[in-house]
Amino acid sequence: MLPSLVVAAIHLALTLVLPPLLVGIIARTKAALAGRQGAPVWQPYRDIAKLLRKGSVISTTTSWIFLASPVVGIAAAIVASLLLPMGGHRAPVSFAGDLVLFAYLFGLARFFTVSAALDTGSAFEGMGGAREVTFSCLAEPALLLGLVVLVRATSSLSLSTMLGPQVLAQWHVAAAALVLVVISLFVVVLAENCRIPFDDPNTHLELTMIHEVMVLDHGGPALGMILYGAALKLFVLGAIVVAIAVPVRTGSLVVDLGVFVGAMLGLSVLVGVIESATARLKLRQVPSLLVGACLLAGFAVALSAR
Amino acid sequence: MILAAIALVAFSGAPGVLLGRTSRVGERIATVLLVAGCLLGLGVALGALRTSVLLDLPWAVPGGRLAVRIDALSAVFLLPLFVVAPLGSIYGLEYWAARDHAEDGRKLRLFYGLLAAGIALLLVAGNAVLFLVGWETMALAAFVCVTTEDRLEAVRRAGYVYLVATRIGTLALFAMFAILHQATGSWAFAAPASALGPQAATAVFVLALVGFGTKAGLMPLHVWLPGAHASAPSHVSALMSGVLIKTGIYGLVRVCSFFEQPPLGWGVTLLAVGAVSGVLGVAFAIGQHDLKRLLAYHSVENIGIITMGLGVAMLGRAIGSPVLVALGLAGGLLHVWNHALFKALLFLGAGSVLHATGTRELDELGGLSRRMPRTALAFLFGAVAICGLPPLNGFVSELLIYLGLLRATTTDRLLVAGAIGTPALALIGTLAVACFVKAHGVVFLGSPRSPRGDHAHDPGAAMLAPMGVLGVACAAIGLWPSGVAPAFERAVAAFSSEVAVASGSLEDLAPLRILSVTGAALLALGAVAAALLRRSTSRARAASGPTWDCGYAAPSPRMQYTASSFAQTLVDLFAWALRPVVHPPRVGGLFPQPATFHSHVPDTVLDRAVLPLSRAGARVARWFRWVQHGNVHLYLVYVLSTLVILILVSR
């Protein structure tokens, strides 16, 4: 066994380095399916590096909250990643109830993102903020309800145990419930990260956007940090789905982490395929899909009641 | 000693009555006396956490004894009172200064002291009569405080609704104490020696839920709360929302502690009532565009969260799980503290905004953070804390309740309760984020929506210092929850000593120390990221200009999202309960005239249930009006003849 400090360092390094790659793979997948060549998968890294060097225009309407939002977004996502078991190995920080902290850290990031949007005084950004808080009100209960199934199955309140080696055994006992949980959490991941069918990150119609419209006024380094923070969020939330859906736990750190990284890349391909194959939902229909995710998780809880 | 403290607090406003209307001396004496009394009380309460204070003196009132009992449970409720009351009084020195409020300043100070003293008295009372004396002192003093500005119609109306509601609550308490007296033969407000049958026990529980729930503001008994909190002067709102409504929770916890084997249904009822109050409280809050009404509905929400904690505790007692009792009760009681701190902070912040701009209407405010940076920062602290977000204090108490709910899902009997309670609490949390992003964002961020804030500025030290103290306290509990854990372990022990022994220490049940670590990590990472951002922006050119707004070069404040438009999607989701009233614009003709759009969310329960019912009641009561002459002699005849008949019947 490697000393836990080394494991933690690998954990942190993966978290910090990998996320933009996921975004790159999603874009590449979409390009391939559309018959285009597309940008290289490393493009997001270059974009972020470029933005960090660029100048920016900061609106005279704004206060310090405007620049605090990317900072809080990154800090919250990194702390959340510390609670996450990768490949079934114990997370650097784990305790009873860490799943609540995990969910609430994204609440903190959302508080500041939407506040920064209101800070610009623009109607577009207010619109995006209102949509973001509305949809998250439905996504978050689904996330916690999905995790309740794992809490019940493993009798543990910590992500490291819930998503640890026990997951494989649970697939033998309660496969139906876990399938429902995976689908429900995958919907939550798409919604929280503003992917199609909830939101189109590449749209040019500001009126219809959610996340992108809230950051319309950020530029340069602040925008770079926001893009990086969004990639981190995709990575951290996606890792939960992967941890349940791919229950390979050999006990060897290298193999498990390799499988984990491979599964994460697979998840990005899947997101890319969905984005190519489906259209955005009308805004009015978004709540029904999220309520559907809640209900799926509810059925999963009912299945675990035996 | 506690009685001396209460007396000091009670009569703190009295010397001022003898002085002139605009006398600065009077208000200073009042504040000094009140602060002194509260410091004394703080000392007693801290001591009582370790060893209970018991005192029993005879009293001339029939059935009454001057029985004082301060155990850890009382002390946990006394502490926020003795913190919030003096801070509110100091705030009042500037907010409701004698020289600006000649006509009602003395009255307010007198009854503010009585209000605080009434709360303290009922919290230490070990006797039903003494408890009710404190309860009524509090209720009536609060009525006078709420109607401070009684020249305004809306204030009188809110005061009247409050008075009626508090009477109904007290009626239920009279019935509850009567049942307890019938079963035990004593007026002591303590556990009956297992003499209660199941029916009497349930009756006591239901009456306590109605009586105390009215005071606490549980849905649907909350009808008095939004109006009263909005109408009262802000430091009174802070005391009422932060402390007064918690007396209802105190009563409920105290009564619940009497029963060692409660039926499962009690816990389920509390959890359900708490969840409904929580979700609908915050949903109504989102629909409001009066800043103080919005905060008032959040009191309903937070009382709901506290009641959910108590519900978890009662479920744990019913199935014999001490861990659930400890987690639920400690979480609920810690939330009592937390809510007292951040809600007082928010009301004082709202008061500063009202003081500076003269309006509570969200859609007339905006961009105040540049003119009132300190108030804005304090309000932001309160807003993050009330949403239950890490690393502030609201998260700690909600985490304890979550732990209780999640543990409940691992047992077979409580699976449904836990599996409904957990997402309900998550929904409350996210709705609170939506609501406070709106409240903070609309008031302090963006650009001004009206010229009201043109001359706004931060208030003076007397108003800022109390807000600073409360904000620091929120951060301290959030970053170092282990520091306050012993108080709640003792309170759990006062609730039930067996539970406390069986459940072990709170540190073992909940990750309090790790929360300090994650909180510090969050702050450290934030500092690193902020430093990086600062370096990159200063190295690269950072120009300033107008908001880009997709290239529209002449944005005006009127184009900003307003509080109502921000809330609209959520209000639509909850329209089945909120019943928003919308006056849409009528656009017609070839050249449409300027049109207006107006919408608001009234209190569904008050407007659609309580008022129609009371009007129907008034129609019935008309038949009895001939009894009422307004002639005192005839009333005395009624009283005497009733007494004579009672004596004859009882012979």
User: Can you tell me the ipTM of this complex?
Assistant: 0.94
Contact between chains at A140 and B429 (C-beta distance less than 8 A): yes
Contact B155, B147 (CB under 8 A): yes
Nearest to B96 by CA among B110, B82, B84: B110
Residues of B in Cβ contact (< 8 Å) with A98: 511
When comparing pLDDT for B192 and B262, which is higher? B262
Q: How confident is the model at residue A206 (pLDDT cuts 50, 70, 90)?
A: low
Q: Which of A53, A57, A61 is best to mutate for the B interface (most B CBs within 10 A)?
A: A61
Nearest to B30 by CA among B235, B234, B229, B232: B235
What number is the average pLDDT over the span A108-114?
94
Contact between chains at B390 and A143 (C-beta distance less than 8 A): no
What number is the average pLDDT over the span B284-288?
91
> Cα dist. A203→A129, A194, A207, A210, B161 in Å?
17, 12, 10, 10, 52
User: In angstroms, rounded to a whole number, what is the distance separating the alpha carbons of residues B578 and B447?
Assistant: 29
Contact between chains at A97 and B511 (C-beta distance less than 8 A): yes
Domain containing A227: what range? 4-303
Average pLDDT for chain B: 87
Write the pLDDT tens digit of every residue in B123-141.
988 888 889 999 999 999 9
Q: Which of A11, A113, A115, A132 is best to mutate for the B interface (most B CBs within 10 A)?
A: A115
Number of inter-chain CB pairs under 8 A, A vs B: 262
When comparing pLDDT for B126 and B503, which is higher? B126
Write the pLDDT tens digit of every residue in B293-338.
999 999 999 999 999 999 999 999 999 888 999 999 999 999 999 9
Contact B266, B272 (CB under 8 A): no
Contact between chains at A148 and B399 (C-beta distance less than 8 A): no
CA of A130, closest CA in chain B: separation in Å? 5
pLDDT at residue number A3? 63
pLDDT at residue number A300? 92
Least confident of A170-174, B334-338, B599-603: B599-603
Other C-beta atoms lying within 10 Å of the C-beta of residue A299: 16
Q: Which residues 443-462 of B are in CB contact (within 8 Å) with A?
A: 444-447
Other C-beta atoms lying within 10 Å of the C-beta of residue B398: 28
User: In angstroms, rounded to a whole number, what is the distance separating the alpha carbons of residues B2 and B551?
Assistant: 66
Contact between chains at A107 and B436 (C-beta distance less than 8 A): no
Q: How confident is the model at residue B382 (pLDDT cuts 50, 70, 90)?
A: very high
Q: Which of A53, A81, A108 is best to mutate for the B interface (most B CBs within 10 A)?
A: A108
User: In angstroms, rounded to a whole number, what is the distance separating the alpha carbons of residues B166 and B224?
Assistant: 8
Least confident of A103-117, A142-156, A221-235, B586-600: B586-600
Contact between chains at A101 and B548 (C-beta distance less than 8 A): no
pLDDT at residue number A263? 93
Other C-beta atoms lying within 10 Å of the C-beta of residue B11: 18
Residues of A in Cβ contact (< 8 Å) with B447: 61, 121
Contact between chains at B445 and A136 (C-beta distance less than 8 A): no
Q: Which residues 79-138 of A are in CB contact (within 8 Å) with B?
A: 79, 82, 93, 95-98, 100-101, 103-105, 107-108, 110-111, 114-115, 118-127, 129-131, 133-134, 136-137
Q: How confident is the model at residue B36 (pLDDT cuts 50, 70, 90)?
A: confident
| The pLDDT of residue B502 is above 90 | no
Read off the DSSP letter of residue B391.
T
What number is the average pLDDT over the span B58-74?
82
User: In angstroms, rounded to a whole number, what is the distance separating the alpha carbons of residues B155 and A293?
Assistant: 45
| The token pair that represents B326 in the structure block | 């400890």
pLDDT at residue number B426? 94
| The pLDDT of residue B365 is above 60 | yes
pTM of the model: 0.93
- Based on the structure, what is the number of domains in chain A? 1
Instruction: Give the CA count within 13 Å in the CB-facing half-sphere of B250.
Output: 30
CA of B422, closest CA in chain A: separation in Å? 7
Cβ of B37 under 8 Å from any chain A Cβ?
A: no
pLDDT at residue number B640? 92
Write the pLDDT tens digit of every residue in A18-37.
999 999 999 999 999 999 98
pLDDT at residue number A229? 93
Instruction: For residue A119, give the nearest of B390, B398, B446 by CB distance.
Output: B446
pLDDT at residue number A207? 64
When comparing pLDDT for B168 and B24, which is higher? B168
Residues of B in Cβ contact (< 8 Å) with A136: 430, 433-434
What number is the average pLDDT over the span A1-14?
80
pLDDT at residue number B435? 93
Residues of A in Cβ contact (< 8 Å) with B475: none
Runs of H (alpha helix) within chain A: 4-17, 19-33, 43-53, 64-82, 98-119, 123-154, 159-162, 166-173, 175-192, 211-214, 220-245, 253-277, 286-303
Instruction: For residue A220, give the nearest of B429, B537, B549 by CB distance.
Output: B537
pLDDT at residue number A147? 92
| The pLDDT of residue A205 is above 70 | no
Hey, which residues does B543 pair with through a beta bridge? Answer: A57
Write the pLDDT tens digit of every residue in B527-555.
999 998 888 877 667 778 777 777 776 77
Range among A199-208, A275-284, B232-241 rated most confident: B232-241
User: In angstroms, rounded to a whole number, what is the distance separating the alpha carbons of residues A73 and A50?
Assistant: 20
When comparing pLDDT for A65 and B628, which is higher? A65
User: In angstroms, rounded to a whole number, what is the distance separating the alpha carbons of residues B529 and A112?
Assistant: 15
What region does A282 belong to: left with phi over 0, alpha with psi -120 to 50, or beta? beta
CA of B341, closest CA in chain A: separation in Å? 20
Instruction: For residue B525, give the nearest of A61, A79, A294 by CB distance.
Output: A79
Other C-beta atoms lying within 10 Å of the C-beta of residue A164: 22
What number is the average pLDDT over the span A118-135?
88
What number is the average pLDDT over the span A212-233?
89
Q: Which residues 422-441 of B are in CB contact (within 8 Å) with A?
A: 422-424, 426-427, 429-431, 433-434, 436-437, 440-441
Nearest to A104 by CA among B387, B401, B377: B387
Contact B396, B477 (CB under 8 A): yes
pLDDT at residue number B471? 94
Nearest to B147 by CA among B171, B98, B111, B189: B111
Write the pLDDT tens digit of every residue in A63-76.
899 999 999 999 99
Instruction: For residue B514, give the nearest of A95, A148, A225 by CB distance.
Output: A95
Which residue of chain B has the CA closest to A226?
A: B533
Range among B144-153, B198-207, B242-251, B624-633 rated most confident: B242-251
Contact between chains at A152 and B427 (C-beta distance less than 8 A): no
Give the contacts of B478 (CB within 8 A, at least 6 positions apart). Answer: B385, B390, B391, B392, B393, B394, B395, B396, B515, B519
Write the pLDDT tens digit of every residue in B437-480.
999 999 999 888 888 888 888 888 889 999 999 999 999 999 99
Average pLDDT for chain A: 88
Residues of A in Cβ contact (< 8 Å) with B548: 57, 59, 122, 216-217
Write the pLDDT tens digit of every residue in B88-118.
999 988 888 877 877 788 888 889 988 999 9
Contact between chains at A151 and B406 (C-beta distance less than 8 A): yes
pLDDT at residue number A204? 57
| The token pair that represents B630 in the structure block | 């307004």
Contact between chains at B548 and A59 (C-beta distance less than 8 A): yes
What number is the average pLDDT over the span B55-68?
78
| The pLDDT of residue A1 is above 60 | no
Q: Which residues 233-292 of A are in CB contact (within 8 Å) with B?
A: 287
| The pLDDT of residue B60 is above 80 | no
| The pLDDT of residue B182 is above 50 | yes
For residue B555, the SS3 value is coil
For residue B639, the SS3 value is helix
Cβ of A294 under 8 Å from any chain B Cβ?
A: yes
Instruction: For residue A72, give the nearest of B418, B510, B526 by CB distance.
Output: B526
Contact between chains at B429 and A60 (C-beta distance less than 8 A): no
Least confident of A33-42, A135-144, B192-201, B316-325: B192-201
CA of A142, closest CA in chain B: separation in Å? 7
